[in-house]
Amino acid sequence: MTAPKNTITSRVLELLAVELLAVSSPGARFSVAVILSGTLMSCAVLAQGERTVENHPTVLQRDITLWSDGTRLSGVLLYPKDRPDGRKLPAIVLCNGWGGTKAFLMRSGIAPRFAAAGYVVINYDYRGWGESDSRLVVRDEMPEPDEDGYVTVKTQAVREVVDPVDQQKDIDAAVSYVHGNPMVDPERLGIWGTSFGGGHVIYRAAHDRRVACVVAQVGSMPDDWTKRYPAGLRSVYKQKAARARGLTDPAPQGGGSPGELRGTPYSERIALFNPGQYADRVRVPTLLIDAEKEHYFKIEENSGRVHRILKENGVPTEYHVLEGKKHYDVYSGPLLDKVMKLEIAWFDRYLKVSDEEGPAH
């Protein structure tokens, strides 16, 4: 059972007194006081805004703000209510799919169920989606800044663009946020992605040493197709040239997503974002889950291919194909229960440790 907050506060104050008595130099005593009072403030800050997650009484949530490349993102931090005092927990960074928002991951129960399993979970909206701030585009000439560096301009708020480059910056901000959180063990950080986000987590694991474990479900993670289709690459370069020269709108808007998906694809950036080509750089345990009747891409050329590469490289990996299931079946009903059981077990295997065992990796 978690100790009352006033008990935690008294323990910190007691620790502060002991440490102050243990040093002789006035300057050293001042330094210790500053550090430990900062710890006391951290405890108070963590308690601010805590509330129980609806339909998940064992999970607490707190609204947070993340800064990503100058853009303010809206997020939620979730964690178990009965977390042991002073013990750092493993964390999971969630990466949504095409047009996905943190509200969906809350409503579906995906985010709180990970937290209920003993993890600190960060759930957030990409820039221009959900409750996060928009990307801003200045159409007119920018005036000279004032002495404080500020300008007053009319800008266009660009929303619901599927841009893998910007989204990778947002994911980096989320990883950085939990990596520095006082509740989190920075050595036990997992990352979870679904659909388009399934490719994001492969790219992130290949480029970010902070990631210790990966789960990707129904993920799009193609390899480098440009070597096979040079004419297609020339077309992409032509689009990039037109946008750089102002012949195409510098901020893609107007839809164009496949099927019933929301948002405007940043087409040339998506065409060149092929996370599967970096599979040989992934060195951490990776669970891959596909739907047999996937209709957006060929599973054998995405997760199937990545799994083969990881296996050949000796990386701990499992690949599950859900027989007779479609892309969206993983988000509800008994299949959601089955998938989450697999995913939590995978994270537990590589991120959970006992006090006697030490780090899992």
**Sequence ranges of the domains in the chain:** 1-48, 51-351
Each residue's pLDDT tens digit, 126-182: 999 999 999 999 989 999 999 999 999 999 999 999 999 999 999 999 999 999 999
pLDDT bracket for residue 25 (50, 70, 90) = low
The Cα–Cα gap between 110 and 234 comes to: 41
pLDDT bracket for residue 259 (50, 70, 90) = confident
**Length of the chain, please?**
361
Residue 341: is its pLDDT beyond 60? Answer: yes
The Cα–Cα gap between 170 and 177 comes to: 11
Residue 103: the pLDDT is: 97
The Cα–Cα gap between 306 and 304 comes to: 6
Q: How large is the angle between the packed helices 164-179 and 196-207, nearest 10 degrees?
A: 60
More confidently predicted of 357 and 195: 195
Residue 253: the pLDDT is: 87
Residue 254: the pLDDT is: 85
Q: Which of 66-70, 321-325, 355-359 has the lowest mean pLDDT?
A: 355-359
pLDDT bracket for residue 255 (50, 70, 90) = confident
Q: Are strands 89-95 and 51-53 parallel, antiparallel or unpaired?
A: unpaired
Residue given tokens 């404080």 in the structure block = 148
Each residue's pLDDT tens digit, 121-133: 999 999 999 999 9
More confidently predicted of 248 and 358: 248
Residue given tokens 């689009």 in the structure block = 239
Residue 47: the pLDDT is: 56
Token pair, residue 346, equals 């995978």
Percentage, residues of the chain above pLDDT 70: 84
pLDDT bracket for residue 256 (50, 70, 90) = confident
More confidently predicted of 97 and 11: 97
Q: What is the mean pLDDT of the chain?
A: 88
Each residue's pLDDT tens digit, 220-242: 999 999 989 999 999 999 999 99
Q: Which of 16-25, 135-144, 246-255 has the lowest mean pLDDT?
A: 16-25
Token pair, residue 101, equals 């928002």
pLDDT bracket for residue 354 (50, 70, 90) = low
More confidently predicted of 237 and 357: 237
Residue 85: the pLDDT is: 80
- According to CATH, the superfamily of the domain at 51-351 is Alpha/Beta hydrolase fold, catalytic domain (3.40.50.1820)
